Amino acid sequence: MNILWLQSAGCGGCTMSLLCAESPNVLDLLSGAGLSFLWHPSLSVETGAEVRRLLNNIETGERSLDILCVEGAVTRGPNGTGKFHMLGGTGRSMLDWVQSLAPLAQHVVAVGTCAAFGGVSSAGENVTDASGLQYEGTHQGGVLPADFKSRSGLPVINVAGCPTHPDWVTETLMMLAAGEMRASSLDGFARPRFYADTLIHHACPKNEFYEYKASATKLSEIGCMMEHLGCVGTQAVGDCNIRGWNGAGSCTRAGYPCINCTAPEFEEPGHKFTETPKFGGIPVGLPSDMPKAWFMALASLSKAATPKRIGANATSDRIKVPPTLKAPKS
Amino acid sequence: MTKTSLLVGPFNRVEGDLEIRLEVSEGHVSAAYVNSPLFRGFERILQGKDPIDALTITPRICGICSISQSAAAARALADVAGAEPAPEGEKVAALLHAVENLADHLTHFNLFFMPDFARPDYAKRPWHDRAVARFTALQGSGLRAATEARAQLFHIVGLLGGKWPHTLAIQPGGATRAPSLRDKIRIAADLKTFRHYLEEHLFGAPVEDFAALSSAEALENWRTGDIGLFLEIAAELDLNSSGVGQARYLSYGAYPTADGHMFAPGLWEQGQLVPLALDNLQEDLSHAWMLGEAAHPTQGMTVPDETMREEAYSWCKAPRLGGEVYETGALARQVIDGHPLARALADENGVHARVVGRMLEIALTQIAVEALVQGIQPEAAFMRDVTLPKEGEGIGLVEAARGSLGHWLRIEGGKISSYQIIAPTTWNFSPRDSRGVPGPVEAALVGAPVAEGEETPLSVQHIVRSFDPCMVCTVH
């Protein structure tokens, strides 16, 4: 299958992250799965006129297009012209190109939260009127209609994340190449379920602290970051702590909160990213699927039951108190 | 004299979007106009936010200079608070930042710059077979080895920064994760792995040997590794005299720690080192689709001209220091820091010199970072408490892979009231100013040969890519 990759109004970080794929490297991985790039802005040799001819051939139907990957939000401003982002050398806006090419592709993949939902490019007053491909925030319908289907019959596949994990992208592409991606493979925001059916909380190394609501009070302390530091790992979809990033990393492993970057509208949480909003001293926003009364009851019970080791470590920048060793049998 | 015009774009294997209009006469470029065709408005996005949110938002300006943006924001916030980060946390920040810069230099050389020499246009050249084997886009053995080395090097950011890009680990008070002794040993091992790659592939010799080169003559005799192949190509294509700039360099100084900068700040003009002062810094808007007057970034505004007026041709503002144009990047940094090889290439200032500047910096950074990691004290504190005031101004100056990056921040009523950013490629790829003076790459392109029938001249591609532009940072 061939891939045309376009970079729209984003930071290019999803491509940069993609290059971090390992075992094997991204080039061998994709070619091994029968995937090749018609063009990729960072990787292909073709530039300028060569690319314009390729795009023209796709539009005229001389070249078939299997997978269109779009990275970055699409700017619709100023005044609906899309001219805040013109595709160099073509005299046409990226908005125009995306709307023209998407219906020609077998599959359309939004790479990253910007392309999926608008993301950081649409934050604040959204001066460029940036949008995701098929979603504007949580609302269906972006620069492509709410009922858009690519030639395969699937909606835009939203590989959301800021950035995307390299494996989320490569595994999505490999599933498409294998003909294994179906409507049922996608969640309610059209994100691949293979990584969106789990939570960041799963396999988070702070789970023991979470169990007792033994909380870090400031960044650098190793306790759970849900109560004070804005962590929404118990609500955010993704397998970051199961899979690991760049070896075995993740946001929470590095000591800063999950900010729900796989979700629409994560860019405007309505409070500081690193501070938990509270109502009457109680954090707003509960773990997914948790009834409030039960959460409150369990939280107060477990807080009261916090072992000394866990309480002391939670507000330290490293493990101060190790686990108690079993005394030898006399 | 026949004058023709060429529109080059989409100009790829640069980070982000680029379009260049060339005027060609008598087989050479007579004028170049650089357009940064994407505006996202980050300076506007930041307005009204809580200042600490800059640490989450600014890295997302750029997926390749993400940590640079993060480090600049952390510095600017610390500056507002009149605080210094914990010394050991500062070392972790420097390490994370250096890893990104090393990776960026590697990505540029292997994935962005070298594949052009594998083009069939060069089929008759004596080195072409080797260029094809090593650097064919998406396939060459050299760029695959580099991709793997880069991914492994980023394990250091995975461990201390959680992920790359877009870490939140660098804070005004230091770093969020205190590395353990185990982390320190593991990082040293990752650096050793990267050294093996450098010595087997890129330099084909000990890193120290390349770092010890002290003259253009000594460099000419270097034959090993991928850099040896580049030097052979550069000599045959005369890339020394291609894309020549004005040898006026800018560096804010890289990796500040309690012991000073790893690479010193300064300006270089007319063969002389001059102390860095930014009072006379202005962003000129005469040829940018921006409204307002030329201003220092403490007074600057970002109001896009939605009419995209005729006289302007880019979303990029034109930064000028004392009214002058400056080039920034690895070559500039090493010239200013005083490395003898960089000083020897300072006046050359062409395609060859810029690429060598990057290779030299890889060698120097590898050596410096190994020492930095040895000096990390795992038992120390890596973070200090920093309280941000409700009112104040701050500046964050760092060196990204591509050069000098500055953040100018003002806080009023506890919110960001102004956030202005000048990125390295804002300098290098700036449009003309009100006096009609072109930006560095616009000037460097004048004289580039254009062969009969060339739509996207190869000489232009080499020159543009020799700057390693990051277009997403440029306008932001």
Mutate to test the interface with A, among B33, B176, B385, B418 (most CBs of A within 10 A): B176
Residues in chain A within 8 Å Cβ distance of B139: 27
Check A247 against B8: CB less than 8 A apart: no
Q: What percent of chain B has pLDDT over 70?
A: 100
Q: What is the DSSP letter of B52?
A: G
Q: Locate the chain A residue with the closest alpha carbon to B38.
A: A85
- DSSP 3-state assignment of B35? strand
Q: Give residue-wise pLDDT tens across range B279-312.
A: 999 999 999 999 999 999 999 999 999 999 999 9
Q: Are strands A2-7 and A65-71 parallel, antiparallel or unpaired?
A: parallel
Best CA proximity match to A288, nearest among A218, A238, A322, A228: A238
Check B456 against A251: CB less than 8 A apart: no
Check B60 against A252: CB less than 8 A apart: no
What's residue B106's pLDDT?
Answer: 98
Rg over alpha carbons for chain A, rounded to the nearest Å, is: 22
Q: What superfamily in CATH does domain A198-320 come from?
A: Cytochrome-c3 hydrogenase, C-terminal domain (4.10.480.10)
Q: Which residues 154-183 on chain A approach chain B with CB closer than 8 angstroms?
A: 162-163
- Give the burial class of A93: count Cβ atoms within 10 A of its Cβ; 0-12 exposed, 13-18 middle, 19 or more buried: buried
Mean pLDDT of chain B: 97
- CA atoms of B116 and A277, how far apart (whole Å): 52
B316 annotated binding-site participant: no
Q: Give residue-wise pLDDT tens across range B15-28.
A: 999 999 999 999 99
Q: What amino acid is encoded at A60 in this protein?
A: T
Mean pLDDT of A11-36: 98
Mean pLDDT of B90-113: 98
B128 annotated binding-site participant: no
What's residue B58's pLDDT?
Answer: 98
Mean pLDDT of A189-194: 98
Q: Does A54 touch chain B (CB under 8 A)?
A: no
pLDDT of residue A138 exceeding 80: yes
C-alpha distance from B271 to closest chain A C-alpha (Å) = 36
| Domain boundary assignment for chain A | 2-194, 198-320
A20 annotated binding-site participant: no
What's residue B1's pLDDT?
Answer: 58
What's residue B2's pLDDT?
Answer: 78
Per mean pLDDT, which range of A254-258, A293-297, B147-151 is the poorest? A293-297
> Tell me, what's the ipTM?
0.98
In this structure, are residues A10 and A112 in contact, taking their beta carbons and an 8 Å threshold?
Answer: yes
Rg over alpha carbons for chain B, rounded to the nearest Å, is: 22
Confidence of residue B161 (pLDDT cuts 50, 70, 90): very high
Confidence of residue B417 (pLDDT cuts 50, 70, 90): very high
What's residue B184's pLDDT?
Answer: 98
Q: What superfamily in CATH does domain A2-194 come from?
A: NADH:ubiquinone oxidoreductase-like, 20kDa subunit (3.40.50.700)
What's residue B258's pLDDT?
Answer: 83
pTM reported for the whole predicted model: 0.98
What's residue A285's pLDDT?
Answer: 82
Count of beta carbons in the 10 Å neighbourhood of residue A326: 6
Mean pLDDT of chain A: 97
List for chain A the helix, strand, coil content (%; round to 5).
30, 15, 55
Best CA proximity match to A254, nearest among B383, B401, B124: B383
What's residue B280's pLDDT?
Answer: 98
Q: Give residue-wise pLDDT tens across range B362-409.
A: 999 999 999 999 999 999 999 999 999 999 999 999 999 999 999 999
Q: Does A9 touch chain B (CB under 8 A)?
A: yes
Mean pLDDT of A57-63: 98
H/E segment holding residue A3: strand A2-7
Q: Does A320 touch chain B (CB under 8 A)?
A: no
Residues in chain B within 8 Å Cβ distance of A89: 7-11, 19
Best CA proximity match to B40, nearest among A74, A161, A159: A74
A69 annotated binding-site participant: no
CATH class of B42-448+463-475: mainly alpha
Q: Give residue-wise pLDDT tens across range A280-327.
A: 888 888 888 989 899 989 999 999 999 999 999 999 999 999 999 999
